[in-house]
């Protein structure tokens, strides 16, 4: 039996388009001699479909697409694909997250997902019921009856020692042990997270050992809103070796023959920073493409955050489709302007410059009669940011561009950002990267180790990309003379570990204090985090990279103690 792993990039809700992607993959697989194609979880819908699942018209479209696949699938080929399945009664929720087997002339449901995640960005219990039994599919192929265990995404995530926790419910892997499958197939839609590619391998290897059979893991790829699915599908055997590894961050199709296994090796995963960069590039590329944008705009300040976003946007959309706007004020250093222009030159992106001093004076003149004095302090600083935000929005509107916000996670966490100013945009590209992570990723980008990745992404491969002048510059918003971020915030090397403990590890200030953190510092950071919630509620979507990002997985009240 030849199994094709179809790592596709669906558009959420485009059942006809996704059906065409599947059909194209099946035709390619059949031409290569495949007997069975395995596609990701909910591949006809794209994951996560969220409330689109509630639309009867789309459920009817799914039926039509399954019928079409059954009519047009190459003879002799079978397709295992993730679908939604309606329940027979009227109790809610009235769907199952299921897998269908499609072959020429017919299709049928063969598996139901048992463990339904309703944590972080997931909310499957809003739509689905749990399957009640293990799923084993018997297929006659090549004169042999193959016993295929089928699990769907979370059903594989049952190893508490590896995960440090697991979802309450059944053990789909343990339940399959008595059925003695020849292979385990897992249909997944698992979003990118730092360290997650290795964890998936470890979970699949644990399942392979428990079931004494190889595991075929097929993951969705592509950016869908704030989530980035990194693909990286693979086959792993009982010894933990990986005879087949598909690409990360792009669509892919590959065949594997369990009857004639290739020499197995522990295929190395790309290093952490390469995976991170590729995920960010894919997130921007797909967000723009799937939302109908062909080009992007960003404000370029000469600082490290906007420099990194410019690199990501250039890799995602191409230099001809990225424009940067420089908006110097009286407080902008000459070095910042020079550094921004030099970066744009290295990337090959177009720039325009609009000084904002005259606009600042215009606001002062208009507001002075009402205020009794010119705006000062924080109000004056925020006016500069809002002037820049207005200019960026005007250009983006006029030119039909996607405006990219350049703020990082540290700033979003403590509110060191301005509503209707630097927070303006359609996508917060690095809003889930702490400032220290921005520095780390930029250092890697400028190192020789990144050359192959840069070349593959269409970026200049030789020499520095961000540039030492930008990387070594003390962070500053440049909204007043000689301003530095450290005037208002703890050093990022101190701040970021505290933020990670509060945001991702759910620790309290009291717990941090017990571990030796200065009490005033712990309470101050927690107060800043809490008070900035109203800003984050109005921020653009943030590409999710960490265990807990600001967005659909962050559900904190605004008015709270």
Pair (116, 258) in one structural domain: yes
Q: Is the pLDDT of residue 265 over 60?
A: no
**Please, what is the average pLDDT of the chain?**
95
Pair (86, 154) in one structural domain: yes
Q: Which of 108, 40, 24, 10 is nearest to 74 (CA)?
A: 24
Pair (79, 23) in one structural domain: yes
Report the alpha-carbon distance of residue 179 to residue 353 in Å, rounded. 68
Residue with tokens 């222009």: 341
Pair (297, 242) in one structural domain: no
185 domain residue, yes or no = yes
**Burial class of residue 165 (count of CB atoms within 10 Å of its CB; 0-12, 13-18, 19+):** exposed
Q: Is the pLDDT of residue 262 over 70?
A: no
27 domain residue, yes or no = yes
Pair (321, 372) in one structural domain: yes
Q: Reduced to 3 states, what is the DSSP secondary structure of residue 50? A: helix
Pair (249, 312) in one structural domain: no
Active site residues: 41, 113, 153
Q: Taking residues 254-267, what's their average pLDDT?
A: 76
524 domain residue, yes or no = no
| CA atoms 321, 322, 327, 328: torsion sign | negative
Q: Please say whether the beta carbons of 50 and 92 come within 8 A.
A: no
Angle separating helix axes 304-317 and 272-290, nearest 10 degrees: 60
What pLDDT digit, counting tens, does each position of 438-481 carry?
999 999 999 999 999 999 999 999 999 999 999 999 888 777 88
CATH of the domain at 95: 3.60.110.10
Q: Taking residues 373-390, what's their average pLDDT?
A: 95
Overall number of domains in the chain: 2
CATH of the domain at 295: 3.40.50.620
Q: Which of 220, 253, 269 is the last residue of a domain?
A: 269
514 domain residue, yes or no = no
Residue 333: pLDDT band (50, 70, 90) is confident
Pair (181, 207) in one structural domain: yes
Q: Taking residues 132-158, what's their average pLDDT?
A: 95
Residue 266: pLDDT band (50, 70, 90) is low
Q: Which of 269, 286, 319 is the last residue of a domain?
A: 269
Tokens of 547: 């265990």
Pair (284, 354) in one structural domain: yes
Report the alpha-carbon distance of residue 37 to residue 3 in Å, rounded. 6
Q: Which of 473, 458, 471 is nearest to 348 (CA)?
A: 458
Report the alpha-carbon distance of residue 558 to residue 561 in Å, rounded. 9
CA-only gyration radius of the chain, Å: 26
Residue with tokens 């002799």: 76
What pLDDT digit, counting tens, does each position of 55-109 carry?
999 999 999 999 999 999 999 999 999 999 999 998 999 999 999 999 999 999 9
* Whole-number pLDDT of residue 106: 96
513 domain residue, yes or no = no
Q: Taking residues 397-411, what's their average pLDDT?
A: 97
- Give the DSSP H/E element, type plus range, for residue 322: strand 322-326
550 domain residue, yes or no = no
* Whole-number pLDDT of residue 481: 83
Pair (234, 371) in one structural domain: no
Q: Is the pLDDT of residue 561 over 80?
A: no
Pair (238, 307) in one structural domain: no
* Whole-number pLDDT of residue 310: 98
555 domain residue, yes or no = no
What are the backbone angles phi and psi of residue 111, rounded to the nearest 5°?
A: -160, 155
What are the backbone angles phi and psi of residue 388, rounded to the nearest 5°?
A: -65, -40
511 domain residue, yes or no = no
Q: Is the pLDDT of residue 231 over 80?
A: yes
Pair (25, 169) in one structural domain: yes
Report the alpha-carbon distance of residue 25 to residue 7 in Å, rounded. 9
Q: Taking residues 112-119, what's their average pLDDT?
A: 96
Q: Is the pLDDT of residue 392 over 80?
A: yes
Report the alpha-carbon distance of residue 333 to residue 171 in Å, rounded. 60
Q: Is the pLDDT of residue 263 over 80?
A: no
Quote the domain boundaries for residue 61: 3-269
Q: List residues bridging with 149 in a β-sheet.
A: 136, 184
Q: Taking residues 13-30, what's their average pLDDT?
A: 98
Pair (295, 443) in one structural domain: yes
Write the CA distances from 372 to 279, 357, 359, 386, integer angstroms.
50, 21, 19, 21
Q: Which of 62, 75, 63, 65 is nearest to 26 (CA)?
A: 75
Q: Which of 269, 293, 314 is the last residue of a domain?
A: 269
């Amino acid at each position: 039996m030849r199994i094709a792993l179809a790592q596709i990039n669906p558009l959420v809700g485009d059942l006809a388009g996704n059906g065409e992607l599947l059909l194209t993959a099946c035709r390619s697989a059949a031409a290569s001699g495949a007997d069975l194609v395995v596609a990701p979880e909910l591949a006809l819908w794209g994951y996560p479909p969220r409330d689109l699942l509630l639309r009867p018209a789309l459920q009817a479209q799914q039926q039509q697409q399954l019928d079409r696949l059954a009519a047009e699938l190459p003879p002799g080929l079978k397709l295992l694909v993730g679908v939604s399945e309606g329940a027979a009664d009227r109790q809610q929720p009235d769907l199952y997250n299921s897998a269908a087997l499609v072959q020429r002339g017919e299709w049928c449901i063969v598996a139901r997902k048992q463990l339904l995640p309703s944590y972080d960005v997931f909310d499957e219990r809003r739509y689905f019921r749990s399957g009640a039994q293990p799923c084993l599919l018997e297929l006659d192929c090549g004169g042999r009856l193959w016993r295929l265990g089928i699990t769907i995404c979370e059903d594989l995530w049952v190893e508490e020692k590896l995960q440090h926790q697991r979802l309450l419910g059944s053990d789909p892997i343990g339940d399959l042990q008595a059925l003695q499958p020849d292979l385990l197939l897992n249909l997944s839609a698992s979003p990118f997270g730092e360290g997650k590619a290795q964890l998936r391998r470890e979970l699949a290897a644990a399942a392979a050992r428990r079931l004494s059979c190889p595991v075929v893991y097929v993951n969705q790829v592509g950016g869908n809103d704030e989530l980035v699915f990194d693909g990286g599908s693979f086959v792993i055997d009982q010894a933990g070796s990986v005879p087949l590894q598909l690409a990360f961050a792009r669509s892919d199709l590959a065949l594997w023959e369990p009857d004639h296994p290739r020499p197995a090796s522990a295929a190395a995963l790309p290093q952490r920073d390469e995976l991170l960069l590729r995920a960010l590039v894919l997130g921007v590329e797909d967000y723009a493409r799937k939302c109908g944008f062909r080009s992007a705009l960003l404000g370029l300040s000469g600082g490290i955050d906007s420099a990194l976003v410019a690199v990501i946007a250039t890799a995602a959309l191409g230099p001809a489709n990225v424009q940067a706007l420089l908006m110097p004020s009286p407080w902008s250093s000459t070095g910042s302007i020079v550094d921004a222009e030099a970066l744009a030159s290295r990337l090959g992106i177009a720039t325009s410059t609009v000084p904002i001093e005259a606009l600042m004076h215009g606001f002062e003149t208009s507001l002075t009669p009402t205020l009794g004095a010119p705006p000062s302090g924080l109000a004056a600083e925020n006016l500069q940011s809002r002037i820049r935000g207005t200019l960026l929005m005007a250009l983006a509107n006029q030119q039909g561009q996607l405006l990219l916000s350049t703020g990082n996670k540290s700033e979003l966490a403590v509110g060191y950002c301005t509503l209707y100013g630097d927070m303006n945009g359609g996508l917060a590209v690095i809003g889930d990267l702490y400032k220290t992570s921005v520095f780390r990723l930029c250092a890697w980008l400028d190192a020789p180790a990144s050359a192959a990745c840069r070349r593959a992404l269409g970026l200049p491969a030789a020499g520095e990309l961000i540039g030492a002048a930008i990387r070594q510059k003390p962070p500053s918003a440049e909204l007043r003379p000689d301003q530095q971020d450290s005037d208002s915030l703890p050093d990022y090397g101190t701040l970021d570990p505290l933020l990670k403990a509060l945001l991702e590890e759910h620790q309290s200030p009291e717990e941090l204090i017990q571990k030796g953190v200065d009490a005033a510092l712990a309470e101050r950071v927690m107060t800043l985090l809490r008070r900035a919630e109203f800003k984050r509620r109005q921020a653009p979507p943030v590409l999710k990279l960490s265990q807990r990002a600001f967005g659909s997985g962050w559900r904190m009240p605004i008015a709270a103690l």
